[in-house]
Amino acid sequence: MTSQQEVVDLVERSLEELRPYLRADGGDITLKEVTDDLRVLVELHGACSNCSMSLMTMKAGVEEAIRKAIPNVLSVEAVNLPDPSEAPPSGR
């Protein structure tokens, strides 16, 4: 079993690999918390915090990288982005 600190270290390492790409677009990311049930909470900064592609960045970039390092992570959520399940239906 992986300790909480080991999980945090693996998440930080994953984020560090992504940072150059985010910074190239004027953004950044920080780890806010890893909960006991292995929910990873991050915060996007700069251009990443209000970019129309932020949700895609979270799913295809951040979540994928973290799950690759820690497959048993329950979820990866940005604390400063809207919940995609609460988005209005397309075509409105």
Q: Which domains does the chain have, with CATH numbers?
A: 4-81 (3.30.300.130)
> Where do we find the tokens 């953004």?
27
Give the containing element (helix H, strand E) for 87. Answer: none
pLDDT in tens, 61-73: 899 999 999 999 9
User: pLDDT above 70 covers what percent of the chain?
Assistant: 86
pTM comes to 0.81
Query: What pLDDT, on the 0 to 100 scale, is given for residue 1?
Result: 52
Yes or no: say if 73 and 14 are a contact pair by the CB < 8 Å rule.
Answer: no
Yes or no: say if 61 and 14 are a contact pair by the CB < 8 Å rule.
Answer: no
Environment class of residue 46 by beta-carbon count within 10 Å: exposed (0-12), middle (13-18) or buried (19+)? middle
Is residue 43 scored above 80 in pLDDT? yes
Is residue 7 scored above 90 in pLDDT? yes
Mention every residue, 6+ apart, whose C-beta is less than 8 A from residue 16: none
Instruction: Give, rounded to a whole angstrom, the gap between the first and last alpha carbons of the chain.
Output: 47
Query: What pLDDT, on the 0 to 100 scale, is given for residue 86?
Result: 56
